[in-house]
Structure 1
Amino acid sequence: MIRTKVGVSIQSTSIYLDDRTVVLSEAIAKKLKVPSHQTITMRFGSSQQEGKVIVAAVPGSLRIDPDFASRIGLHQGARLNLHYKPQVNTLSIGPLIGVMISRVNTSSPSKPFGAMTTFCKELTTASERFGALVCFFPPKEMHPNAQTIDAYSYVDGSWSKRTFPIPNVIYNRLTSRKYENMPNVQQFMKDVKSRYGTVIFNEKYLNKTEVFDALRKDSSLHTYLPESHLFKNFQMLKTMAARHPVLFLKPITGSLGNGIIRIRREGEETYSTHVTSLAGVRRQTYPSLLSAFQSIAGKLKTQRFQLQQGLDLITTEGNPIDFRALVQRGETGQWEITSIVGRIAGSQHFVSNLARGGSLSTVPEALAKASFSLPTRKVIIQRLRKASLDIAKGIETQIPFHFGELGIDLAVDRSGRVWLLEVNSKPSKDDNTALNNDNKIRPSVRQLVKYARYLAKF
């Protein structure tokens, strides 16, 4: 496919031309083999209108009448890709990328999306660089049988709400299962996929049980999987405790390390529990596993937990070290590793989340801090990279939803073996990037736009 980037200029073309006529740079028309003075279909997102192209000596420009631009959903100032398909006589402009966001605060014009605003600006800049247009919309703008979407875009230094056609590609950045599961949101996603062929990626949140049950189906991934089950009863806890000296109970829909319970065998009969909360970690010791279980039984009734084998992780000064890999698809549609960072748990914590006092480091620095000898750093890094790609491909194969990026949390034990801790389908836009990266647009954001352009066939 031949594609090229043009600046869209919305202005009256000529008093001698009707409003369906668009004026295209002669050089671009020749490059794309767009016929002139013939009726063709113009497409932007889901919108299609009949028009007629005439060529003129205007460099890198597509001039469109305001009425025509309004009907097709184009706005002033965009620099977009064009491609022409002669077999269907269609000139496509785009891609138009939609991003589903949780909420809009209209009382804060400079930060309408709260902490997500900076990322949304960065995504806008990246889209402009790659000849795409991105818009952002919350659940209240998603309607059944929608033909257009009211969404926000960043133009000339400010946010404004405009009407767009249904995007070619939609990236789900809803940060709450509550929003994602709203009936209108689910219906909107179903409608735009079936009616307009819109591609949606990162369609849903993953939970811990779903991930481990799915990956267990692939025998080649078993080497990365600690023993892990959806918690059911004390008998299951007792059976697991007989095999493993440390166990973890993790809320299957939890985040930021909140609500994780560690159970550790301290002696022949005694056990301790460590429970994380917003206030920190609370430790208690019990004379038996049953009494330890009885102390946490109330918590276990409030939500579902995944019971997982504890691992003998590498540490530095007694603090566990783990790793977050950001794995994304890019311009070829294949999984690629964008970054891997080391995460060191804070003092008195057994989880490494930044929200709980954890700190970031590069992978070599984290491995250098480990309190004992390992295979060479090069070997460990290769194992982390291989595990990241293997697990991403396993998710793609075993879970029937579309994902374009995954945050994969990995651990290394004292023998140098790599283990999977969890997979996040809504990786943070703050703590998963490569360190010391001073570029205005992070590689992770560039990858998102490249993948969206690939999905939209631009």
Structure 2
Amino acid sequence: MTRTKIGISIQGTSIYLDERTVVLSEAIVKKWKVPVNHTITLRFGSAKQEVRVVPASIKNSLRLNATLASKLGLHQGAQLCIHYKSGTGTLSIGPLIGVMISRVYAGSSDRPFGAITAFAKELSDACAMFGAMVCFFPPGEMHGSAQSVSAYSYSNGSWSKKTFPIPNVIYNRLTSRKYENMTNVQQFMKDAKSKYGAEVFNEKYLNKTEVFEALRKDSSLHSYLPESYLLKNYQMLKSMSSRHSVLFLKPITGSLGKGIIRIRKEPDNTFTCHFANLSGARRQVFPSLTAVFQALSGKLKSQRYQIQQGLDLITTGGRPIDFRALVQKGAQGQWDITSIVGRIAGSQHFVSNLARGGTLAPVKEALGKSTLGAQSRASTLARLRKSALDIAKGIETQIDNHFGELGIDLAVDNTGKVWLLEVNSKPSKDDNTPLNNERKIRPSVKQIVQYARYLAKF
């Protein structure tokens, strides 16, 4: 489809321009064969309004009455795509993208969304670039059977709250399972899809057990999967310990490296456990595996853990390295690698998350500094890229939810083999940024808008 962008021009009520009349550039009227002087449907998000189009010699502009603009949530100067479908007599402008966010700090005009405010502004800038509009709303504004949503948008240098139609595309950036599982939030997503045809992506959090069980169904992915199960009893711990000298226990709903436990069998048949915490790792030695299990029994009652084979990871200066691949869908609706960064564990930690003292390095630099042999380094980057794409496609095939971006954590062992550590359906908007502070729109943010435009058929 040939894409046409227009600027929104809002005017006060006049005898020429009322709520049911819009003025459109003559060139666009001709290009899209928009009928003039009889009624068609103007659509923005879920909102529809019967209007009459008047052509005028104005450049790339849609001029409309202030009352109609307010009803639609449009602001002066908004840049949107436009197309006309003669079969349905519908002139569509958009897309309107809605972003579900965890909270709004109404008293903070500079940072209304806290830590993700900079990302929200960047996404708004990307929308202006690509001809889209974005609004942001927390769980309290989501309701089943809603015909509109109260949301925040950025225009003319500031954030403001107004009423919008149900968006064409909804991007779930809720940062807790508690918010995501609220009845009103689930009903809002369900109704937006079924009643208004909205596309909702990154619909839910993934847990570690779900990911590994799903990917295990595809034999072509088995080589990436360390042996990994939901820990159910002592017998399973004993069985895994007989096969692997190092084991990891990971909370199945955990993130940022919280709560990870490393169990290592020593030559004298004792077991050393390292417990990840913010200040480093607490170390404790146990005389037997039974003693380890007894010490963990309290944790196992309150939290479910994934038990996973320990890997002999490449290191730099004795610190383990792993990799975060950001895999996103873009303008053609296909998975692609946006970025891969190396993550080097902090000196007192065995996990690489930035929240646990880890540092970022460009992928080639991380591989170059590593214990991996020089001959393996060149092919390892290609293998990292291929594995990330294979895993993203596997998630899409095996899990019945819609994802548009995934953070895929990968490891490389000392033989150069690539392993999957975990998949994150809410990749941080800071954790995988390019290693500079330039204030320009990141490729990862552009991809979100281009994919939304693809979904909305603009």
TM-score (norm 2): 0.98
* Distance (whole Å) between structure 2 residues aligned to residue 86 and residue 7 of structure 1: 22
Q: 1:384 maps to which residue? A: 384
Contact preservation (8 Å) 2:75, 2:155: no
Q: 2:361 maps to which residue? A: 361
Residues 35-61 of structure 1: per-residue CA shift (max 9 Å, x gap): 211211100000011111111101111
Contact preservation (8 Å) 1:47, 1:73: no
SS of structure 1 residue aligned to 2:348 = coil
Say whether 1:276 aligns with 2:284: no
What is the CA-CA distance between 1:436 and the residue it aligns to? Answer: 3.9
* Distance (whole Å) between structure 2 residues aligned to residue 443 and residue 113 of structure 1: 22
What is the CA-CA distance between 1:11 and the residue it aligns to? Answer: 0.8
Q: 1:192 maps to which residue? A: 192
Q: 1:122 maps to which residue? A: 122
Q: 2:207 maps to which residue? A: 207
* Distance (whole Å) between structure 1 residues aligned to residue 449 and residue 392 of structure 2: 19
Residues 39-87 of structure 1: per-residue CA shift (max 9 Å, x gap): 1110000001111111110111110112232344433321111011111
Q: 1:234-253, aligned counterparts within 5 Å? A: 234-253=234-253
With over 3 angstroms needed to count, the CA separation of the structure-2 counterparts of 1:372 and 1:167, relative to structure 1, is closer
Deviates more, 1:62-71 or 1:299-308: 62-71
SS of structure 2 residue aligned to 1:376 = helix
* Distance (whole Å) between structure 1 residues aligned to residue 436 and residue 377 of structure 2: 20
Output the amino acid matched with 1:56: A
**Runs of 4+ deviating beyond 6 Å:** none
* Distance (whole Å) between structure 2 residues aligned to residue 415 and residue 437 of structure 1: 35
Contact preservation (8 Å) 2:73, 2:162: no
Residues 131-183 of structure 1: per-residue CA shift (max 9 Å, x gap): 10000000000011000000000111111100000000000000010000000
Contact preservation (8 Å) 1:177, 1:205: yes
Output the amino acid matched with 1:396: E
Q: 1:286 maps to which residue? A: 286
* Distance (whole Å) between structure 1 residues aligned to residue 454 and residue 178 of structure 2: 30
Output the amino acid matched with 2:162: R
Deviates more, 1:166-175 or 1:58-67: 58-67
Contact preservation (8 Å) 1:13, 1:21: no
Residues 345-385 of structure 1: per-residue CA shift (max 9 Å, x gap): 01121100111111110111111111242543220000000
Say whether 1:113 aligns with 2:108: no
Contact preservation (8 Å) 2:13, 2:66: no
With over 3 angstroms needed to count, the CA separation of the structure-2 counterparts of 1:374 and 1:286, relative to structure 1, is farther
Say whether 1:267 aligns with 2:267: yes
Output the amino acid matched with 2:53: V
SS of structure 1 residue aligned to 2:457 = coil
Output the amino acid matched with 1:166: I
Q: 1:66 maps to which residue? A: 66
Contact preservation (8 Å) 1:322, 1:342: yes
Output the amino acid matched with 1:2: T
Output the amino acid matched with 1:388: A
Q: 1:397 maps to which residue? A: 397
Deviates more, 1:446-455 or 1:370-379: 370-379
Q: 2:297 maps to which residue? A: 297
* Distance (whole Å) between structure 1 residues aligned to residue 412 and residue 91 of structure 2: 52
SS of structure 1 residue aligned to 2:167 = coil
What is the CA-CA distance between 1:13 and the residue it aligns to? Answer: 6.8
Q: 1:333 maps to which residue? A: 333
With over 3 angstroms needed to count, the CA separation of the structure-2 counterparts of 1:420 and 1:17, relative to structure 1, is closer
What is the CA-CA distance between 1:91 and the residue it aligns to? Answer: 0.3
With over 3 angstroms needed to count, the CA separation of the structure-2 counterparts of 1:17 and 1:225, relative to structure 1, is closer
Residues 297-355 of structure 1: per-residue CA shift (max 9 Å, x gap): 21122100000000000011111000000000000000000000000001121100111
* Distance (whole Å) between structure 1 residues aligned to residue 70 and residue 372 of structure 2: 65
Task: Percent identity, please.
Answer: 71
Contact preservation (8 Å) 2:39, 2:51: yes
Say whether 1:53 aligns with 2:48: no
Deviates more, 1:290-299 or 1:188-197: 290-299
* Distance (whole Å) between structure 2 residues aligned to residue 190 and residue 286 of structure 1: 50
SS of structure 2 residue aligned to 1:257 = coil
Q: 1:63-102, aligned counterparts within 5 Å? A: 63-102=63-102
* Distance (whole Å) between structure 2 residues aligned to residue 189 and residue 365 of structure 1: 42
What is the CA-CA distance between 1:443 and the residue it aligns to? Answer: 0.3
Deviates more, 1:373-382 or 1:95-104: 373-382
Say whether 1:144 aligns with 2:144: yes
* Distance (whole Å) between structure 1 residues aligned to residue 279 and residue 302 of structure 2: 19
Residues 242-294 of structure 1: per-residue CA shift (max 9 Å, x gap): 00000000000001101000000112421100001234211111221111222
Contact preservation (8 Å) 1:340, 1:434: no
* Distance (whole Å) between structure 2 residues aligned to residue 375 and residue 101 of structure 1: 45
* Distance (whole Å) between structure 1 residues aligned to residue 453 and residue 432 of structure 2: 23
Contact preservation (8 Å) 1:42, 1:90: yes
Contact preservation (8 Å) 2:372, 2:416: no
TM-score (norm 1): 0.98
Q: What is the aligned-residue RMSD (CA, Å)? A: 1.3
Output the amino acid matched with 2:341: V
Question: Structure 1 unaligned runs (5+)?
Answer: none
* Distance (whole Å) between structure 2 residues aligned to residue 272 and residue 72 of structure 1: 62
Contact preservation (8 Å) 2:44, 2:92: yes
Q: 2:159 maps to which residue? A: 159
Output the amino acid matched with 1:117: T
Output the amino acid matched with 1:294: Q
With over 3 angstroms needed to count, the CA separation of the structure-2 counterparts of 1:372 and 1:57, relative to structure 1, is closer
* Distance (whole Å) between structure 1 residues aligned to residue 239 and residue 268 of structure 2: 15
Output the amino acid matched with 2:442: R
Deviates more, 1:429-438 or 1:124-133: 429-438
* Distance (whole Å) between structure 2 residues aligned to residue 233 and residue 374 of structure 1: 43
Q: 1:181 maps to which residue? A: 181
Deviates more, 1:271-280 or 1:46-55: 271-280
Question: Structure 2 unaligned runs (5+)?
Answer: none
* Distance (whole Å) between structure 1 residues aligned to residue 16 and residue 271 of structure 2: 87
What is the CA-CA distance between 1:17 and the residue it aligns to? Answer: 5.1
* Distance (whole Å) between structure 1 residues aligned to residue 301 and residue 243 of structure 2: 24
* Distance (whole Å) between structure 2 residues aligned to residue 13 and residue 39 of structure 1: 19
